[in-house]
Amino acid sequence: MSFTKEEIAGLYRKRSRYYDFTANLYYLLGFREQAYRKKSVDALKLSPGDVVVEIGCGTGLNFPLLQKVVGPKGKIIGVDLTDEMLKQAQRRVKENGWSNVELVKSDAALFQFPSEIDGVISTFALTLSPEFDNIIQNGCMALKFGRRWVVSDLKMPSNWLRHFAPLLIFLTRPFGVTKDLEVRRPWESMEKYLGNIHLKEFYMGFVYIAAGERGKDGCTQKNKKIY
């Protein structure tokens, strides 16, 4: 069974101090998390001065990548459910002297997106929320026309490698990932609300990065095909 929000918060509260280190251990299995994070930030197509919201920002691992593209005149709004993860993010912000980062403790499903933002991103976090569909729609509604929502996360591959999923789930369970999350498919929600959808798979199909743009017709449900 999947973890409740309270259980997820508890897991990450306990892991917050060592989260960055333990996440890097997956590099031993060829899992290039930082590379996927960079590709995700690149997919946002941000510019200096832009405002971006990160859902599930954790300890702020994406902040250096986002800072490089939005610059000191831009703004990063990091949203996370867990207070201890945000404390680590705040420490990162202070150590780097960033004055353009706002941290918000909130359930992503209840977060009030600011209007007219230039990008929304979530890396290895969104699938943990059962309300991912609403979060994607709310983020879409906050975007300026033509700006992007990017999600990267784990998924079940469609090929024979899915038979190795029990091993992957055993390794990722400490981060709240369980097999029943397979039915949560944020990229399909992106199809519903966003246009110009692009999806790429990595790590033998266990990782995906999906990007979509807010269209002229807003964020009502659509039936677009991913290509």
pLDDT per residue rounded down to tens, the chain (227 residues): 566 767 666 766 766 666 565 665 454 445 578 899 999 999 999 999 999 999 999 999 999 999 999 999 999 999 999 999 999 999 999 999 999 999 999 999 999 999 999 999 999 999 889 999 999 999 999 999 999 999 999 886 676 555 555 556 545 555 545 455 566 689 999 999 999 999 999 866 689 999 999 998 778 776 444 33
The distance of Cα 86 from the centroid of its chain, to the nearest Å, equals 15
Write down the pLDDT at residue 132. 96
CATH class of the region 5-213: alpha beta
Quote the pLDDT of residue 169. 55
Contacts of residue 160, defined as CB under 8 A and 6 or more positions apart, other chains included, come to none
Collapsing DSSP states into helix, strand and coil, what is residue 197? strand
Q: What is the predicted pLDDT for the residue at 225?
A: 43
> What pLDDT, on a 0 to 100 scale, did the predictor assign at position 28?
42
Residue 166: what pLDDT? Answer: 59
- The pTM assigned to this predicted structure is 0.83
pLDDT of residue 164: 56
Q: Rounded to an integer, what is the distance from CA 48 to the centroid of its chain?
A: 21
What region, left, alpha or beta, does residue 58 occupy, with left being phi > 0 and alpha being psi -120 to 50 degrees? left
In angstroms, the CA 186 to CA 84 distance is 26
